[in-house]
Amino acid sequence: MSARPKPRPRPLRVGFLPLTDAAPLVVAQVHGLFARRGIAVELRREVGWATIREKVRLGELDAAHAPAPMLWAMALGIGCPPTPVSTAFILGENGNALTLATAIGQEARTPEGVREIARRRREAQPLTLATVYSLSSHVLLIHEWARRCGLSAERDIRIAVIPPGQMYRNLVAGTIDGYAAGEPWNTLAVNAGAGWCPVWSSGLGPPQAEKVLLVTERFAETRGEEHAALVSGLSEAAQWCDSPASRPQLAAILSGPRYLSVPSRLVAPSLSGRFDPGHGGPVAAPDFHVFHRGGANAPSAAKASELQAALVRGRLIPDGPDPELPGRLFREDIYAQALAAAGHAGSPRP
Residue 100 DSSP SS3: strand
pLDDT of residue 63 exceeding 60: yes
CA distances from 147 to 17, 141, 156, 157 (A): 29, 10, 10, 11
Share of the chain above pLDDT 90, in %: 84
Query: What is the chain's length?
Result: 350
Residue 44's DSSP bridge partners are 15
Closest residue by Cα to residue 178 from 146, 203, 152: 146
**Span 90-115, mean pLDDT?**
93
Work out the pLDDT band at 349, boundaries 50, 70, 90: very low
Order of all β-strands in the sheet with 85-94? 41-45, 12-16, 63-67, 209-216, 85-94, 289-290
* Percentage, residues of the chain above pLDDT 70: 96
Tell me what pLDDT residue 215 has.
98
pLDDT at 3 over 70: no
pLDDT for position 1? 42
With 60 as the cut, is the pLDDT of residue 4 above it? no
pLDDT score for 348: 43
Query: What's the mean pLDDT in 129-142?
Result: 94
Q: What are phi and psi of 337, to 5 degrees?
A: -65, -40
The answer on pLDDT for 2 being more than 80 is: no
pLDDT tens sequence across 230-243: 999 999 999 999 99
Please, are residues 180 and 133 in contact by the beta-carbon 8 Å criterion? no
Pairing of strands 195-200, 178-182: unpaired
Contact at 8 Å (CB) between 329 and 75?
yes
The whole-model pTM stands at 0.93
Residue 124 has pLDDT above 90, yes or no: no
Round the CA-based radius of gyration of the chain to a whole number and report it: 20
Q: Where are the alpha helices (DSSP H) in the chain?
A: 23-30, 49-57, 70-76, 111-121, 137-148, 153-156, 164-173, 185-192, 217-222, 224-241, 247-254, 264-271, 301-313, 325-329, 332-342
What distance, in Å, lies between the first and last C-alpha atoms of the chain?
44
Query: What is the arithmetic mean of pLDDT over 261-285?
Result: 94
Question: Predicted confidence band at 6 (pLDDT cuts at 50, 70, 90)?
Answer: low
Higher pLDDT pick, 312 / 9: 312
Tell me how far apart the alpha carbons of residues 325 and 318 are, in angstroms, rounded to a whole number.
13
- Interatomic CA distance for residues 301 and 303, integer angstroms: 5
Eight-class DSSP state of 346:
-
Mean pLDDT of 73-88: 96
Q: Identify whether 263 is preceded by a cis peptide bond (ω within 30 of 0).
A: no
3-class SS of residue 209: strand
pLDDT band at 345 (very low <50, low <70, confident <90, very high): very low
Of the candidates 107, 172, 180, the residue with the CA atom closest to the CA atom of residue 139: 180
Q: Using an 8 Å Cβ cutoff, are 41 and 237 in contact? A: no
The candidate with the shortest Cα–Cα distance to 21, out of 201, 257, 190, 205, is: 201
